[in-house]
Amino acid sequence: MNLGVLFSGGKDSTLALWKARQTDTVTCLISVLSRNEESYMFHTPNIDIVRLQAEAMELPLIQETTDGVKEEELIDLERAIEKAKIIYSIEGVATGAVESVYQAERVQRICHNLDVWCFNPLWLRNQEALLYEIVEAGFHVIISGVFAYPLSEEWLGRVLDRAVIRQLVELQKLHGISPSGEGGEIETTVLDAPFFRKRIEVTDFEIVFDKYSGKFIIREAHLVEK
């Protein structure tokens, strides 16, 4: 089956892409660039890096822009998926949804309207297990956003590894945060994965942080040989 992948550049959508490739043919990436940093549907930190990630994977990218108005932004998502259906003949859409019923229901509805299959390979998987799977598979992931106490500025730019996972799980026990950021506590950016032809090297960045909320903003990056 030909699949398009709803792709944000973060760990979950990249892992979903990896799993989709194991069973089906991924023909394109589908991304929505939101002007609203508080979008209910779409990942925003470093979303512009998606073009570089698509180039690293040698996959075509369909990208739409949205104002990010709640519910109205779904029109822009449906437009992007419809383009993928027309241009790349996709028969289904893979998502990185894990626990967000809000997101999963809306993508499912759009897929139903367009008569394409909705594939959620990470749905209701154990979050800790997913994090370890990402690390053990060789993904290079950095934390690009933190939005909850007690996550401090020092977390920004950290590479996801076993030590970081253990700390996140401990914070879940102590403070109730979601270790993989399902509550919006953490955002990530993937710089390399097993199926990337090249890896992304960050050459300039900025850290913005205030009151347990901050971002690792990639200012310059380019592809390098692996």
Other CB atoms within a 10 A radius of the CB of residue 138 amount to 10
Q: pLDDT tens digit string along 37-67?
A: 766 677 667 888 999 999 999 999 999 988 7
* Distance (Å, whole) CA 133 – CA 74: 31
Residues 144, 93 share a domain: no
In this structure, the answer to whether residues 18 and 94 fall within a common structural domain is yes
Name the band, by pLDDT with cuts 50, 70 and 90, for residue 108: very high
What is the pLDDT averaged over residues 115-136? 96
Q: Is the pLDDT of residue 189 over 70?
A: yes
Helix boundaries (H) for the chain: 11-23, 50-57, 73-88, 101-114, 127-136, 162-175
Host domain of residue 205: 127-225
CA distances from 145 to 79, 93, 140, 157, 209 (A): 28, 26, 16, 8, 9
The total number of structural domains that make up the chain = 2
Looking at the structure, tell me whether residues 145 and 87 fall in a common domain.
no
- What pLDDT is attached to residue 204? 97
* pLDDT single digits (tens) 55-101: 999 999 999 988 777 778 889 999 999 999 999 999 999 999 998 88
- Backbone torsions φ then ψ of 56, nearest 5 degrees: -65, -30
Select from 89, 119, 149 the last residue of a domain: 119
pLDDT of residue 36: 75
pLDDT at position 43 is: 66
Structure confidence at residue 40 (pLDDT): 62
Q: Which residues of 86-125 are buried (b: 16+ CB within 10 A; e: fewer)?
A: eebebebbbbbbbbbeebbebbeebbeeeebebbbbbeeb
- Per-residue confidence (pLDDT) for residue 8, from 0 to 100: 93
Q: Indicate the average pLDDT of the chain.
A: 93
Q: Measure the CA–CA gap between 21 and 32, rounded to whole angstroms.
A: 21
139 and 80: one domain? no
Q: Is 109 in the same domain as 206?
A: no
Nearest CA to 146 among 135, 138, 158? 158
196 pLDDT band, cuts 50/70/90, is very high
The phi-psi region of residue 202 (left if phi > 0; otherwise alpha if psi is between -120 and 50; otherwise beta) is beta
Same domain as 157, residue 131: yes
Residue 102's pLDDT is 83
